[in-house]
Copies of this chain bind each other. A is one copy, B any other.
Amino acid sequence: MSSEDKIVLIDEKGRRIDGRGPEDLRPIRMEIDVLKNADGSAYVEQGGTKVIAAVYGPREVHPRHLAFPDRAAIRCRYHMAPFSTSERKSPAPSRREIELSKVIREALESVVFTQLYPRTVIDIFIEVLQADGGTRCAGLTAASLALADAGIPIRDLIAAVAVGKIDGVLVLDINETEDEHCEADMPMAMAPSFNEIVLLQLNGVLSPEETSKAIELGKKGIMKIYELQKETLKKKYELSTRRSQVVT
């Protein structure tokens, strides 16, 4: 949102720089169980954004006094690989990564049945391998799949997307170039089955009416991503069922 140059982000036909219409998501694909050591893992590609998430736990907490007597603690690290960005990023956590780790953790905690695992910790690690806009959202989408893959009981998956405002138009799922030049960037995440908004941030300026419309638009994208998440889990589940039948 800072640069000086004027770039045409939406042409006269309403097409965005990558050819999408305002309400189009970028191509998404996702896969679970991509890592061997992690208890659960998922890989998500959303346009040029590539994130991998892993879950360890529930497991013992060290040091002990960080444990809760009545529920599992959730720790979350959102981290960007040094080679994921245009300029090399130092691997030390930036203030941005510290903030995003917090809001992502709070969003995930809203769906995990933490009270089932008192005195333990569930660790969620999100690594951004290539950043092209919407990394926190793709990270959330991946992390909730990894939780499911780890067999940790959750009320719902979390699906997330960023809505932007470009040249006065609300658009879905902005990419990095759009993010850099947009008037507003509103990442949001939901527990879709419950219609609950579990992450909501706004960087930029919207009128109150636009805020409502942006949430509406975000919901549409989230529902599509949610369907894909469920398919991904189902496919794997069927596969493993088939496998186990073969074994039997």
A65 within 8 A of B: yes
Whether B62 lies near A62 (C-beta < 8 A) is no
Question: Interface residues of A: mostly helix, strand, loop or mixed?
Answer: loop
Residues of B close to A62: CB separation below 8 A:
65
A70 to chain B, nearest CB (A): 20
A209 to chain B, nearest CB (A): 40
Residues of B close to A65: CB separation below 8 A:
62
Interface size of A as a range: under 10
In A140-160, which residues have CB < 8 Å from any B CB? none
In A1-19, which residues have CB < 8 Å from any B CB? none
Bound together, the chains give a CA A62 to CA B65 distance in angstroms of 10
In A49-64, which residues have CB < 8 Å from any B CB? 62-63
Bound together, the chains give a CA A65 to CA B63 distance in angstroms of 9
A66 to chain B, nearest CB (A): 11
Closest B-chain residue to A65, C-beta based?
B62
A213 to chain B, nearest CB (A): 41
A82 to chain B, nearest CB (A): 16
A185 to chain B, nearest CB (A): 30
Bound together, the chains give a CA A198 to CA B65 distance in angstroms of 38
Bound together, the chains give a CA A62 to CA B63 distance in angstroms of 12
Residues of B close to A63: CB separation below 8 A:
63
Closest B-chain residue to A62, C-beta based?
B65
In A31-81, which residues have CB < 8 Å from any B CB? 62-63, 65
Closest B-chain residue to A64, C-beta based?
B65
A91 to chain B, nearest CB (A): 14
Bound together, the chains give a CA A20 to CA B65 distance in angstroms of 56
Bound together, the chains give a CA A63 to CA B65 distance in angstroms of 9
Bound together, the chains give a CA A62 to CA B62 distance in angstroms of 15
In A144-203, which residues have CB < 8 Å from any B CB? none
Bound together, the chains give a CA A63 to CA B62 distance in angstroms of 12
Question: What are 2 residue pairs bridging A and B, where the CB atoms are less than 8 Å apart in the complex?
Answer: A62-B65, A63-B63
